[in-house]
């Protein structure tokens, strides 16, 4: 099935950087990226937002979770060049005007942070969950956070924090 557009030249410019534009936390930026760079590398190294963590780099831990066009994705398994023209929200974009978001507040309050390495990913997954489903059950929270590993095993406090942020009868413990 050969069509007219097949004649478009494929220019395989290995390792040449291309300019892409990304809207990171509401601010458009132009970044030069090589095709092999992943979104997490560009967010951390080129843009300098180091809240997003790179850990397993194979999709097994969820530490690099960011919202791409409002959907939670793994920034370590996404090529930055594929995100040209798209909106990205990282953990730095959750607080508004210096005020933490409800889910961040709940994490602090429940002590849902131990070493903190999984926390940015957890917060992004939880933010996406609460947008789709404002009153999730414990089971729904477990399913939504199944892709985020916490090696400190602090899961109960994390689930409690999501329940608290969604206003479902979990009492604040620190205040």
Partner 1 sequence: MILLDFGYERAATLQQAAAWLARLGDGAHVLAGGTDLLPSLRAELVSPGVLVGLSGIEPEPPRLTADGSIRIDALTRLSSLAHAGLVREKLPMLADSALAVGSNQIREMATLGGNLCQETRCLYLNQRHDYQFAAPCFKRGGDCCHPFPRNDRQTCWSVHMSDIAPALIALGAELEILGGAGMRRIGAAELYTGSGLQPLSLGRAELVRAVIVPPPPPRSGWGFHKSTVRGGLEFGMAVIAVSLQLAEDGASCCGARIAVGAVRERPLRLESAERALVGARLDDERLARVAPDAAKALNPLPHHGFTRRHLLDNVAVYLRRALAQAAERARTGRA
Kindly identify the residues of this chain, within the stretch 13-32, that bind partner 1 according to CB under 8 A.
13-16, 18
Residue 139 within binding range of partner 1, rule CB under 8 A: no
**Least Å distance between CB 159 and partner 1?**
13
Q: Would you say 165 and 136 are in contact if contact means Cβ atoms under 8 Å apart?
A: no
Per-position DSSP letters for 53-118, written without gaps between them: ---SSSSSS-TTEEEETTEEEEGGGSBGGGGTTEEEE-GGGSSBTTB--HHHHHHHHHT--SS-SS
**Least Å distance between CB 175 and partner 1?**
30
Helical packing angle, 119-132 and 102-110, nearest 10°: 130
Binding region for partner 1 (CB under 8 A) out of 77-85, 104-112, 151-159, 163-171: 77-85
Q: Residue 14: helix, strand or coil by DSSP?
A: coil
Residue 85: how many other CB atoms lie within 10 Å = 9
Residue 51 within binding range of partner 1, rule CB under 8 A: no
Q: What are phi and psi of 166, to 5 degrees?
A: -90, 10
**Least Å distance between CB 98 and partner 1?**
29
Q: To which residue do tokens 């131990």 refer?
A: 114
Residue 47 within binding range of partner 1, rule CB under 8 A: no
Residue 23, strand partner residues: 28, 87
Residue 72 within binding range of partner 1, rule CB under 8 A: yes
Interface residue with partner 1, options 125, 127, 164, 166 (CB under 8 A) = 125
Binding footprint of partner 1, residue count (CB under 8 A): 46
Instruction: Give the residues lining the site for partner 1 (CB under 8 A).
Output: 1-3, 5-6, 8, 10-16, 18, 34-38, 41, 57-60, 62, 65, 71-74, 76-79, 81-82, 125, 128, 142-149
């Amino acid at each position: 099935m050969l069509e007219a557009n097949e004649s478009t030249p494929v220019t395989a410019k290995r390792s040449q950087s291309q300019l892409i534009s990304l809207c990171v936390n509401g601010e458009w930026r132009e970044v030069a990226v090589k095709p092999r760079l992943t979104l997490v590398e560009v967010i951390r190294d080129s843009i300098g937002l180091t809240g997003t963590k790179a850990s397993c780099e194979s999709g097994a831990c969820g530490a690099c979770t960011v919202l791409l066009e409002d959907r939670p994705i793994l920034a370590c398994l996404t090529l930055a060049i594929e995100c040209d023209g798209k909106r990205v929200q990282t953990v730095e974009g959750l607080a508004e005007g210096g005020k933490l978001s409800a889910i961040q507040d709940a994490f602090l309050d429940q002590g849902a942070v131990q070493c903190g390495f999984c926390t940015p990913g957890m917060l992004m997954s939880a933010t996406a969950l609460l947008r789709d489903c404002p009153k999730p059950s414990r089971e729904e929270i477990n399913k939504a956070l199944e892709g985020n590993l916490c090696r400190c095993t602090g899961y109960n406090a994390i689930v409690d924090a999501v329940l608290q942020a969604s206003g479902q009868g979990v009492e604040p413990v620190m205040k």
